[in-house]
Amino acid sequence: MKMVVLDGYTLNPGDLHWGPLLDLGDCKIYERTPPTETIERATGAEILLTNKVVLDRETLGRLPGLRYVGVLATGVNVVDIAAAKELGITVTNVPAYSTMSVVQLTFALLLEFTHRVGHHAGSVRGGGWTKSKDFAYWDFPLLELAGLKLGLIGFGAIAQGVARVAQAMGMEVIATRRGDRPAEVPGVTMVDLDTLFRESDVLSVHCPLTPETKGLVNTARLSLMKPTAYLLNTSRGPVINEADLADALNADKIAGAGLDVLSTEPPAADNPLLTAKNCLITPHIAWASRAARGRLLNVVVANIKGFLNSEPQNVVS
């Protein structure tokens, strides 16, 4: 059984052990695979593991021996699922491994806006407090979250975790998602999308990237938001129209944006959000705590074992 990992570095840059995966059979691990080398490296593999290397219809069609694709993530938009089904290729993902890490980063972004910890710590190091005439000073308004309204786009496991933390901080939580299911978290009110944009003091995106959600956050919807509101995105970059968001930030239509994802990663140097006002951007690290990556690797191995035992789990194809 030949296995190939196309891009293993972000999952395991050296602080985890590949042993449990290597024990399953002949396994070649590449740190990164450029698109021009995907076919060559994947040829002959029955099991192929990918994080961000795209496996489109053409690529899958040129790998006749391929039986299984394991996505080293929750989102599966890098794989043409319809083509995989037609070709009889089983595709699995890893759900829920990073829930609490993403929740944590969501609030790290928000809390940076509320007290500007990085800025004020830098100011102290620069002598600002030493030179101050008062025992305390601040360069930005300090924001208390208690009593503010948090809106959640999507209400899966991560959004529900965010909701619970927000409630613990005294925030009111509203949410929207596909379907008419009631909220699983007591005290959360389900509303329509426009109401969510209008009423939220903090709007946090936690939906998957689909044709329906691509560009969901755009000029029309941003215009509904309060000028004092903050936008957070730890889901997928293309959910936001980046030019529209940059325009809204530069025109002070909203107070700020905290983003862990962009439409193209790494971003081009001319991405308008890199220079937009009041925009915090982290390099797609919400998922990447060592604990989360360890869980991810464990589930990847369990998924392959299930497939080999004719008991596949976490199947998306």
Superfamily of domain 2-97+290-308: NAD(P)-binding Rossmann-like Domain (3.40.50.720)
What pLDDT, on the 0 to 100 scale, is given for residue 33? Answer: 98
Catalytic residue check, 40? no
Domains 2-97+290-308 and 99-281 share a fold: yes
What pLDDT, in 10s, does the model give residues 127-136?
Answer: 999 999 999 9
Determine the average pLDDT of the residues in 228-254: 98
Q: Say if residue 183's pLDDT is above 80.
A: no
Q: Say if residue 182's pLDDT is above 90.
A: no
Catalytic residue check, 181? no
Catalytic residue check, 120? no
Catalytic residue among 206, 236, 293, 295: 236
Catalytic residue among 116, 284, 293, 295: 284
Q: Residue ranges of the domains in the chain?
A: 2-97+290-308, 99-281
What pLDDT, on the 0 to 100 scale, is given for residue 42? Answer: 98
What pLDDT, in 10s, does the model give residues 150-159?
Answer: 999 999 999 9
Binning pLDDT at 50, 70 and 90, where does residue 123 land? very high
| Domain 99-281 falls under CATH 3.40.50.2300 | no
Q: Which residue type is seen at 61? A: G
Determine the average pLDDT of the residues in 171-197: 91
Angle between helices 290-308 and 99-115 (to 10 degrees): 160
What pLDDT, in 10s, does the model give residues 268-311?
Answer: 999 999 999 999 999 999 999 999 999 999 999 999 999 999 99
Q: CA 224 to CA 143: how far, in whole Å?
A: 21
- Scored b (16 or more CB within 10 A) or e, 288-297 reads bbeebbbbbb
Mean pLDDT of all residues in the chain? Answer: 96
